[in-house]
Chains A and B, each alone.
Chain A
Amino acid sequence: MIPSVDRHLEAIRERLAETIFPMLPPEAEFAREQASFVLMALDLVRAAHPHAYRYEVVERHEYAAAVGDLLALGVSPGAEAEARDALAAPEPRADEASIPLAALIEGNRALKTVVTRLFEALCAEGGETADSAREVLRRLAVRQVARERALFASTGYTRSETSLAETLAQPGAAS
């Protein structure tokens, strides 16, 4: 994903801090005070968002274990039924999202570079090999563009018939 969510947040913070907030008049005390909270909140979001999913995975397993421990102590049938319903919600694997987002992004970028180099080398061979390599890239390009169209739809620059969530959930999206 380019730019990454973190890069967007960093740029937004810089523009607010460097370009926009200094233009607030000195007498706009309330606005200036809130501006400093906006920057603080943006710093928090930048620090937290790469770990948001992992944070919830950890909590899910920790609290599910606690529910199990408490049920083992004996509770009323009504309370047990409510607890079992809560435990029935989809559960992520315990190690899900354990790879730091930045490392995942870096790994994906390395893979994209490898794909391009292999593609160029195979194209240089010409003939059927080159045609087959082009076909692989075409399939990749279609899916890449579908994701990007959904990602940028809110800017108005792109249009997409499916939301980003739907696009990512489509068969083959993570095959």
Chain B
Amino acid sequence: MAEPCVARGRVEGALLELLAERRRLRDAPPPHARFRAPEVVRAGLRRWMSDEHGPHARVSDLRRLSGAGTNELYSFTLHRDGAQESHVLRVKVPGSGVVTHLGREVQAMRAVDGLIPVPRPRWLTHDPRYLGAPAVVTDFSPGVQAPRGQETRASGMGTTYPEPLRSRLAPQFVSYEALLHAFDWSRAGLDQFEPPRAGTTDAVDWRLAFWDRVWDEDRLEEHPSMALARDWLWEHRPVVDVASLLHGDYRNGNFLFDEERGVVTAVIDWEMTWIGDRHADLAYTMFKSFAHVRDGVTLVAGLLDAERFVAAYEEVSGLPVDPERLHYYFVFNMYWSNVSLLATGLRNAAAGMTQLDVMYQAMAGKGAMSCAALNKVLFGGAR
């Protein structure tokens, strides 16, 4: 029989450690892997804050927020030194449907704080004695994920914006993505990331190798569309002209805004951050599944048409947008999102690592739809 295909690129060290930790958790799931009771979270947070700020620090108003895909979210008030502060606690979910690295997430947010509005990370712990998993406390960012009265969807996907809100938010949305990609990360102390060489395929090689590894570790069974996509992606890797810090999940629903003023107050959900080709982020932002059709015009992320989006991006970033690379990263993004939908979520469900097992298993249907789209993009979809 043919030998199994070995990964064609290397995986960054921090991500290799993350994958090893994941295997350990699956072999011996921690007591609260599937569900942390509110009293467990409250007690763990109190211990942690007390260790950080002394025995007089106190926690109150702990409240679970929506969303639990990769992190459990809680708002709370911290009382210390006679003052009250509003914060958000994010605790990693061991059985998450997508592999993410909290240390990288926090470093990226700290690096761009001031350039882009982000929830400022304050304290980070990898000590499982507090909450059973890595956790971070950030400042509370005011704002909403979707306009008032709009039905909130999972992770804010498909959020739409009425006028005049849309016209106010659109330029900010584009600008922050452009500023992020033009940001010089080389002096930002991002030691959880390995620096790829510009003008090479380092960045895409490493990222592809990572997703290949996750697919190989997590898939319950092989899929011909995924095999074809993997083959195509390795065959067509474009050189990365400029290696940018990427958000990885930049779309509608992943920023908070002040509805009255039409101001973006925070770009959130940095779990998927990596250093690579800006076209990966752009192609993701331009996914049709995040778009909204208004008067026959497809609005990128529900905000503005593709032509204006690209023009505004190029103007702010000073970086050109190449349609060929955009196409490559459409396929790339479909590939990794399918790794999550058809492998990681299902593997963690089967391993009893999550309470979202029914949801992940039903959402395998999204993976099926995405495989149909992959077939169409790669060879027209019919044979």
B is bound to A: yes
Please list the residues of chain A having a beta carbon within 8 angstroms of any beta carbon in chain B: 2-3, 7-8, 11-12, 14-15, 18-19, 108-109, 112-124, 134-135, 137-142, 144-145, 148-149, 151-152, 155-158
Find the A residue at minimum CB distance from B379.
A138
Contact A123 B231 (CB under 8 A): yes
Contact B364 A3 (CB under 8 A): yes
Contact B371 A145 (CB under 8 A): yes
Q: Which of B2-10, B47-55, B277-285 contacts A (4 or more CB under 8 A)?
A: B2-10
Determine the chain A residues whose CB is within 8 A of the CB of B365 once the complex forms. Answer: 148, 151-152, 155-158
Contact A141 B358 (CB under 8 A): no
Expressed in whole angstroms, the Cα–Cα distance for A172 and B120 within the complex equals: 57
Known: A116-B227, A120-B231, A138-B228. A18 touches B383 (CB 8 A): no
With A7-B350, A14-B352, A109-B222 known, 12 other A-B pairs at CB within 8 A are: A2-B220, A7-B361, A11-B357, A15-B358, A18-B355, A19-B35, A112-B222, A115-B222, A116-B222, A120-B5, A148-B372, A158-B372
Known: A118-B2, A120-B5. A19 touches B227 (CB 8 A): no
Q: Is B382 an interface residue (CB 8 A)?
A: yes
Contact A19 B224 (CB under 8 A): no
Contact A117 B368 (CB under 8 A): no
Partner of A8, one of B34, B227, B361: B361
Expressed in whole angstroms, the Cα–Cα distance for A2 and B363 within the complex equals: 11
Interface residues of B in 351-375 (CB under 8 A from A): 352, 355, 357-358, 361-366, 368-369, 371-372, 375
Find the B residue at minimum CB distance from A118.
B2
Instruction: Summarize A's interface: helix, strand, loop or mixed.
Output: helix
> Which 3 pairs of residues, A with B, have the shortest CB-CB distance?
A152-B365, A157-B365, A121-B2
Known: A117-B4, A117-B5, A145-B375. A3 touches B222 (CB 8 A): no
Expressed in whole angstroms, the Cα–Cα distance for A142 and B375 within the complex equals: 7
Determine the chain B residues whose CB is within 8 A of the CB of A113 once the complex forms. Answer: 221-222
Smallest CB–CB gap between A148 and chain B, Å? 4
Q: Is B146 an interface residue (CB 8 A)?
A: no
Contact A11 B225 (CB under 8 A): no
Smallest CB–CB gap between A101 and chain B, Å? 15
Known: A117-B3, A137-B224, A144-B224. A158 touches B368 (CB 8 A): yes
Smallest CB–CB gap between A138 and chain B, Å? 5
